[in-house]
Amino acid sequence: MTEKIYYFDNNATTKIDPYVLEEMLPYLTDFYGNSSSMHDFGGGLGDVVEKARKQVADLLGAEDPSEIIFTSCGTESDNAAINSAILSQPGKKHLVTSKVEHPAIINYFEMLEKRGYEVTWLDVDDQGLLSVDDVTGAIREDTALVSLMWANNETGVIFPVEEIASELKNRGVVFHTDAVQAAGKIPIDLKNNDITMLSISGHKLHAPKGIGALYVRRKTMFKPFVVGGHQERGRRAGTTPVAQIVAFGTACELAVKNMEKENTEVKKLRDLLEKLIAENVKSVEFLGHRDKRLPNTANISFGYVEGEAILLLLSENNIAASSGSACSSGSLEPSHVLRAMGKPFETCHASIRFSLSIYNTEEEVRHVCSVLPGIISELRKISPFTPAELR
């Protein structure tokens, strides 16, 4: 019998919803044709792809499903947005982003710096918040793109992207937002804001890995990142992964239905987790703004211990959490997000991220909070930095 896993790492990836899997499976087993084929067995699958495109558009509040381009993941969507912006404006060599972005943005921008582009790296405050004035103050005549995440993957802190988008539209600047963490957790209404391009990923909202989407507002000049066949109206080449797309569309439809639950029940569980930890563990610091954050995310630093050691002992108790972005795991460097917030190395190295989903329960939260104090206590006993009163 498989042991129960207490999964609190949903910002890294989520389980596939059983209904999503049920809807997906026939397109792996029975209806496996190529949707670009001339015959009905393959070509007839175009209708289910377009149904899914509308489901994604509905989650994002897009005006037209044709604004949705299917990709392989959030990273590809981010890269495609950046690539299109710079190719569409070859005379502009200035880019703007923040110091707390996902590696999909940071590493691409660093590569572009080596190719002669100038990047303005915006600061955040000690709560992880970004100033709209800092964004607008960074704009120049040669600014090709501003790319800022909607919600941070490590702290859950939400940026004022809709206000930023409005300001940038008035200045004629292309604006892309990485909404991989935000989609399905907070409302998005692209019909009523000025965001130019937006990235999301299926595996962050209970669809399988290997499918994502890029929203491109109508009348926006777009240059493809993946070049080849005619798929996605010539905007993203590659054989259409019908099963993954069906799953993604179904997951987006469920996300619309579960949005209220994310912001009530999941938030209540996240708050309970923080409350119990604060009551039972001394010398902890809650990182990121308390209110302007996703309803599912808690980032907590436990003084005088190493985050990696906490994670290993949690894992021995079948509890899955994280020390930051899963895309940066294995690095001994402290979180770039927390460092950008001005946190000392000791705080960064002692931080743990708990991220919940609609599948978490109060029993699971209470179990984690019954195990965690003992782990912290044992680690502090062997830490040379622990003051006497905490041993």
Q: What is the mean pLDDT of residues 217-231?
A: 94
- The domain 18-254 having CATH identifier 1.10.8.350: the answer here is no
The domain locations on the chain are: 6-11+259-379, 18-254
Summarize pLDDT for 121-161 with one digit per residue, the tens.
999 999 999 999 999 999 999 999 999 999 999 999 999 99
Q: 0.85 cut: is pTM over it?
A: yes
Summarize pLDDT for 276-310 with one digit per residue, the tens.
999 999 999 999 999 999 999 999 999 999 999 99
- 327 as an active site residue: the answer is yes
pLDDT of residue 390: 86
Average pLDDT, the chain: 95
- What are the Cα distances from residue 137, in Å, to 140, 146, 151, 162? 8, 12, 21, 17
Summarize pLDDT for 242-270 with one digit per residue, the tens.
999 999 999 999 999 999 999 999 999 99
Q: What's 6-11+259-379's CATH class?
A: alpha beta
Confidence grade of residue 385 (pLDDT, cut at 50, 70, 90): confident
* Residue 36, pLDDT above cutoff 80: yes
Catalytic residue among 73, 327, 348, 369: 327
Contacts of 91 (CB under 8 A, 6+ apart): 142
* Residue 92, pLDDT above cutoff 50: yes
Q: Which residue has the higher pLDDT, 59 or 323?
A: 59
Q: Which residue has the tokens 């992964």?
A: 241
Please give the share of the chain, as a percent, with pLDDT higher than 90.
91
Q: What is the mean pLDDT of residues 228-232?
A: 92
* Residue 332, pLDDT above cutoff 90: no
* Residue 325, pLDDT above cutoff 70: no
DSSP track, 14-83: -PPPHHHHHHHTHHHHT----TTSSSHHHHTTHHHHHHHHHHHHHHHT-S-GGGEEEESSHHHHHHHHHH
